[in-house]
Amino acid sequence: MGITSNSTDRQRAVASGLLPIMRIADQPVSWPIDERLAHYGCPGVGVAALKDGRIDWVDGFGVREADRPERCGPDTIFMVASCSKPVTALMVLQQVERGVLDLDTDVNRYLRRWQVPANDFTAATPVTLRHMLSHTAGLTVNGWGVVPRDGRPVPDLLDLLEGHPPSTQAPVVVDKAYDGTDRYSGGGFILAQMALEDTLGRSFAEIANEFVFAPLGMTRSTFRHPLPTEFHGDVASGHGDDGRPAVGGWMISGEMGAGGMFSTARDYATFLLGARAAYHGEPGAILGRSLAVEMMTRHDLGSFGLGFHVLGSGSTLRINHGGSNDGYQSETDCFLESGDGGVVLTNATSGIFLFREILNALADVYEWPGYMPAPKHLRQLTEQEMQAYVGSYRIVSGIELPLLRTWVEDGRMFSEIPGLRFGVQESFCDTDGVLFNQAGPFETRVSFGPDGTAQELSVHQGDVVILTAVRVVE
């Protein structure tokens, strides 16, 4: 589409032109945002568009809670879930810059209430803040201590780290040798939070307000739990898979650094631009340039910088992070060269589909380079060819769910992983024989047996294998 003349025109173009992730050549399709909110059962969303290093526009769509009239607006507050992690990383780096912390020192030096359990892995490579912020420490993937606001006990940091009730998770340990590769770990960011609190002697929320929120003017953001009453009048309630509001409206967490931040689309866009300003060494930036560059450079063999997911190179280089808590889904992007980008915050589990379509609309209107895959060219399968895929497949790697099902109905092929929030998706075949759907950037490659039926499926996102599954003999 290309950039239109002013911010109002661009906003209207985005709101009326949501796009699927996997587009089909010669079959253009787009949707208005209100239609897709209804389609996915997502009550509301906050959106901010970045252009040339500034906020071009920010707005809300839909409602703060299903079956209630209060509309989402530019300053509606959402739980941003794991989009908290880059903020936590920035807070750590600020203390490194002040000489309070060191990125490459054993983190146990800074922990007063708890110590990373010693084992053969930690003896070979002590856990450091650099490892934790780049997800290379080998810490187990814990840290989702989010519970409904209904009076039930909330696990604190020690509960989560030690695996004690009311936490329902296993203890946080290092269970992988350091090899430079990343493995996403909420547990690492729990430790980053603890290191900041133990070293500075203040709550995480107080530290965030002093060093990040107040300097950047993020007046509608907080790590305080429970959420302060002054924010209650404009917070979006979370909604589950069934479309119903969460009990108590929103969540409470004992850990904040991994996923406990509440914010608005405007505030989070301000944070992204503040991080970009630091990367470019702008005067008065929130962090010095050298550490900002470290933060936004891929570390070792992984795809993360320090806190941010770092994607692309040159004109396509961008910082990214998504968030997923019960009732909330979010995604954020900022191109470091152009200063273009977007923030999408939703108040439903199904928002994972919606935010992708909104970001695609932003990419189209603002001409983000290298963001969306090229449109697919279809191969039309016969009914007989479709039947070769029909059946149940046992998932053997990549996801802790048992089955993937494929079937044919009215001359169309569908697939589903029961228990996964992606739901039922229509499957298409491209001219290379690769299967795909339009809900995500995934491709399914198929191995056939001597009888011509599909025997093994492997789902890819780019060069990464997401899962593999083998046919169940019935």
The CATH number covering residue 290 comes to: 3.40.710.10
* Domain match, 357 and 398 both: no
* 410 within domain boundaries: yes
Terminal-to-terminal C-alpha distance of the chain: 49
| Tally of domains in the chain | 2
pTM score: 0.91
Tell which wins on pLDDT, 427 or 27.
427
Q: Where are the beta strands (DSSP E) in 72-218?
A: 78-81, 146-148
* 73 within domain boundaries: no
* Domain match, 230 and 319 both: yes
Residue 4: pLDDT above 70? Answer: no
Tokens of 203: 């709550």
Domain that holds residue 251: 78-366
* Domain match, 326 and 203 both: yes
In this prediction, residues 174-197 reach a mean pLDDT of 94
What would the pLDDT profile of 42-94 be if each residue is shown by its tens digit?
Answer: 999 999 999 999 999 999 999 999 999 999 999 999 999 999 999 999 999 99
Residue 411: pLDDT above 90? Answer: yes
Indicate the average pLDDT of the chain.
93
pLDDT of residue 104: 98
* Domain match, 291 and 316 both: yes
Domain boundary, last residue among 366, 399, 431 = 366
Residue 177: pLDDT above 70? Answer: yes
Q: How confident is the model at residue 399 (pLDDT cuts 50, 70, 90)?
A: confident
**Residues contacting 112, CB < 8 A, separation 6+:** 198
Q: How confident is the model at residue 1 (pLDDT cuts 50, 70, 90)?
A: low
* 371 within domain boundaries: no
* 17 within domain boundaries: no
pLDDT of residue 424: 85
Neighbouring CB atoms inside 10 A of 153's CB total: 11
pLDDT of residue 250: 87
* 285 within domain boundaries: yes
In this prediction, residues 367-372 reach a mean pLDDT of 93
Tokens of 237: 């309630």
Residue 151: pLDDT above 90? Answer: no
Closest listed residue to residue 116, CA positions, set 366, 105, 434, 375: 105
Q: How confident is the model at residue 420 (pLDDT cuts 50, 70, 90)?
A: confident
* Domain match, 354 and 403 both: no
pLDDT of residue 2: 58
C-alpha distances (whole Å) from 40 to each of 36, 241, 351, 422, 425 are 6, 10, 7, 10, 13
* Domain match, 425 and 301 both: no
pLDDT of residue 241: 75
| Percent of the chain with pLDDT strictly greater than 90 | 78
What would the pLDDT profile of 302-354 be if each residue is shown by its tens digit?
Answer: 889 999 999 999 999 999 999 998 899 999 999 999 999 999 999 998 898 89
